[in-house]
């Protein structure tokens, strides 16, 4: 075996030579010595080396840079890093530089020969990473048997895992529009007064159905009931005519100049519903196709919860006016009973006014009931539209979860995973890859879940293929980020 020891400390050089030559299998090894990284590169260029024991901290050129340069030119040479440092970042950088092993100097006497044997036999030996304490374990028993193509595939899968995580969870800037959801609409439906006024008035301040009801009602009363005292039989029939006529205004009247009150409120509600649908689509489109699926889903679900809470408030108002209508109707019946039980055969103006005011209260309450009923229907329509988007996003998230679960990186040491993930938040290729795959599939990622031809295997194959094609650039980008 042709072996190179690279260390600036002569005592360490002697120790390593002594340990290697003391082992029967390696006693005839051709051992060369270098004191820094630059000398190591020169020796590698002049000799067909099998293995290098490389110190990290050395003058002129450190061990990491020397390893990177040697492996880039002579990838068949196996490098074992020998150092006193237990810094996880150095382990990660050593892996990225192409080292096949990592040994603490404190363990030279006990582990040197076994590490050399395992690396020589094609294994990769690095200290385990304790995820509970975030420390490296001192023992060197993390051995991975991966050939070069398997290693590249595993690293590509780790990159794919990171990309899928970014696609799903997004980054800090999630592209939501600056305006709040409610303020995005021309008529804010959290403001009950504005919404109900629109339903009763429409888009014209001159058309107030509640005022029109009162004006027409008072005009009807003046025509049907003379201000003079009338007998009770006549008053009863006149009141029946008033109620029948107001009912007609409310529910059935259809003339060239006038539709019934309920139809007008319903028409205003339809206009509002159409406007809401347009404004909602504009709002969602402003972030749906450029925001990660999970934040997007959470945002829409929060909007849905907000709208459901608003509906509860509207329902409370609806119940209040329903109770008012009921109370006014009961009051009317009581007044009628009192009126006809009195001894006098004639009615006075105050009695007539009380009865007519009660009738008007009934229909005012009816007007509010109709308005709140249609308002609730409009908001429920927005919720139904939101639910379509939410269902799509749930399917898209499930698809990404399935892809994530299918990315098998078993057999890869945690140190390798940490290395690939290190400073990955600055890695920009994930957005580019997503755009390329979306272009090929023909749909935005947040629409993938509802497309029959889009399945986890299709996306995973495309993603791994694209990463593999550009893996050199991707790995180089990570390297450059680590070696700044």
Q: What is the mean pLDDT of residues 459-463?
A: 88
* pLDDT value for 331: 93
As a whole number of angstroms, the distance between CA 286 and CA 279 comes to: 11
Q: How many CB atoms lie within 10 A of CB 456?
A: 17
Q: What is the mean pLDDT of residues 336-347?
A: 68
Which residues, in sequence order, are bridge partners of residue 79? Answer: 52
Between 392 and 336, the more confident residue is 392
Q: Does residue 34 register a pLDDT over 80?
A: yes
* pLDDT value for 149: 55
Q: What is the mean pLDDT of residues 92-101?
A: 82
Between 463 and 89, the more confident residue is 463
* pLDDT value for 259: 79
Q: What is the mean pLDDT of residues 473-478?
A: 52
Q: Which of 119, 51, 368, 408 is nearest to 43 (CA)?
A: 51
As a whole number of angstroms, the distance between CA 308 and CA 316 comes to: 12
Q: Does residue 288 register a pLDDT over 50?
A: yes
Q: Does residue 347 register a pLDDT over 70?
A: no
Are 11 and 50 in contact by the 8 Å Cβ rule? The answer is no
Which residues, in sequence order, are bridge partners of residue 337? Answer: none
* pLDDT value for 475: 56
* pLDDT value for 133: 45
* pLDDT value for 171: 59
**Residue 186: left (phi > 0), alpha (psi -120 to 50), or beta?**
alpha
Q: Does residue 136 register a pLDDT over 60?
A: no
Ranked by mean pLDDT, the top range of 46-60, 118-132, 350-364, 454-468 is: 46-60
Q: What is the mean pLDDT of residues 126-138?
A: 53
Instruction: Report the share of the chain in percent with pLDDT over 90.
Output: 28
For 409-452, the pLDDT digits (tens) are 766 555 556 655 654 544 556 777 888 888 988 898 999 989 98
* pLDDT value for 155: 72
* pLDDT value for 413: 55
pLDDT band at 242 (very low <50, low <70, confident <90, very high): confident
As a whole number of angstroms, the distance between CA 365 and CA 43 comes to: 97
Q: Does residue 95 register a pLDDT over 60?
A: yes
Q: Does residue 257 register a pLDDT over 50?
A: yes
- The per-residue pLDDT of the chain, averaged, comes to 81
Q: What is the mean pLDDT of residues 244-253?
A: 88
> Which residue's entry shows tokens 């020397």?
66
Q: Which residues contact 400 (CB under 8 A, 6 or more apart)?
A: 164, 167, 168, 293, 445
* pLDDT value for 304: 93
Q: What is the mean pLDDT of residues 53-63?
A: 92
Q: Does residue 21 register a pLDDT over 50?
A: yes
As a whole number of angstroms, the distance between CA 93 and CA 95 comes to: 5
Q: Does residue 22 register a pLDDT over 80?
A: yes
Q: Which pair of structure tokens corresponds to residue 155? A: 């690293």
Give how far Cα 291 sits from Cα of 169, 288, 396, 445, 449, Å. Answer: 9, 6, 13, 9, 15
For 147-186, the pLDDT digits (tens) are 555 666 777 787 788 888 888 887 545 556 555 777 778 7
For 66-89, the pLDDT digits (tens) are 999 998 889 889 999 998 887 777
State in Å, rounded, how far the first CA of the chain is from the last one: 35
Q: Does residue 146 register a pLDDT over 60?
A: no
DSSP secondary structure, 290-338, as one string: TS-HHHHHHHHHHHHHHHHHHHHHHHHHHHHHHHHHHHHHHHHHHHHHH
Q: Does residue 198 register a pLDDT over 50?
A: yes
Q: Which domains does the chain have, with CATH numbers?
A: 2-145 (3.40.50.2300)
For 310-336, the pLDDT digits (tens) are 999 999 999 999 999 999 999 988 888
Q: Does residue 139 register a pLDDT over 60?
A: no
* pLDDT value for 482: 41
Give the lowest-confidence range in 49-63, 142-156, 351-365.
Answer: 142-156
As a whole number of angstroms, the distance between CA 198 and CA 167 comes to: 42
């Amino acid at each position: 075996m042709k072996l190179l020891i690279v260390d600036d400390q002569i005592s360490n050089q002697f120790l390593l030579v002594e340990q290697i030559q003391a082992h029967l299998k390696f006693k005839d090894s051709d051992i060369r010595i270098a004191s820094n990284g630059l000398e190591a590169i020169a020796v590698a260029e002049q000799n067909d080396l099998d293995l290098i024991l490389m110190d990290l901290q050395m003058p002129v050129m450190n061990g990491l840079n020397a390893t990177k340069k040697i492996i880039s030119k002579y990838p068949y040479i196996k490098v074992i890093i020998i150092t006193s440092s237990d810094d996880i970042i150095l382990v990660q950088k050593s892996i990225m530089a192409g080292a096949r092993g990592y040994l603490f100097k404190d363990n030279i006497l006990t582990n040197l020969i076994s590490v050399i044997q395992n690396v020589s036999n094609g294994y990769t030996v690095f200290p385990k990473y304790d995820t509970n304490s975030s420390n490296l374990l001192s023992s060197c028993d993390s051995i991975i048997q991966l050939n070069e193509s398997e290693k590249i595939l595993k690293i590509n899968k780790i990159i794919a895992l990171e990309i899928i995580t970014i696609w799903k969870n997004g980054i800090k800037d999630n592209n939501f529009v600056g305006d709040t959801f409610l303020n995005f609409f021309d008529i804010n439906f959290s403001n009950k007064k504005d919404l109900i006024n629109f339903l009763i008035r429409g888009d014209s301040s001159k058309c107030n159905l509640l005022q029109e009801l009162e004006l027409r009602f008072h005009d009807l009363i003046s025509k049907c009931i003379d201000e003079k005292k009338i007998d009770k039989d006549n008053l009863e029939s006149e009141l029946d005519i008033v109620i029948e006529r107001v009912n007609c205004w409310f529910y059935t009247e259809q003339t060239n100049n006038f539709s019934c009150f309920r139809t007008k409120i319903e028409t205003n509600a339809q206009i509002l519903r159409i406007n809401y649908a347009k404004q909602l689509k504009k709002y969602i489109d402003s972030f749906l196709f450029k925001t990660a699926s999970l934040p997007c889903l959470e945002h829409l679900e929060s909007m849905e919860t907000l709208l459901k809470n608003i509906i509860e408030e509207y329902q409370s108002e609806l119940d209040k006016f329903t109770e008012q209508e009921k109370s006014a109707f009961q009051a009317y019946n009581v007044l009628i009973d009192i009126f006809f039980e009195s001894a006098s055969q004639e009615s006075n103006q105050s009695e007539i006014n009380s009865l007519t005011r009660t009738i008007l209260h009934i229909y005012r309450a009816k007007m509010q009931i109709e308005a709140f009923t249609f308002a609730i229907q409009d908001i429920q329509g927005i919720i139904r539209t939101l639910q379509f988007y939410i269902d799509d996003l749930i399917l898209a998230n499930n698809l990404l979860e399935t892809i994530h679960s299918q990315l098998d990186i078993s057999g890869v040491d945690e140190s390798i995973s940490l290395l690939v993930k290190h400073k990955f938040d600055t890695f920009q290729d994930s957005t580019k890859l997503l755009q390329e795959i979306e272009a090929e599939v023909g749909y935005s990622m947040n629409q993938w879940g509802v497309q029959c031809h889009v399945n986890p295997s299709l996306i995973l194959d495309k993603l791994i293929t694209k990463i593999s094609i550009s893996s050199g650039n991707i790995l180089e980008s990570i390297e450059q980020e680590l070696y700044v």
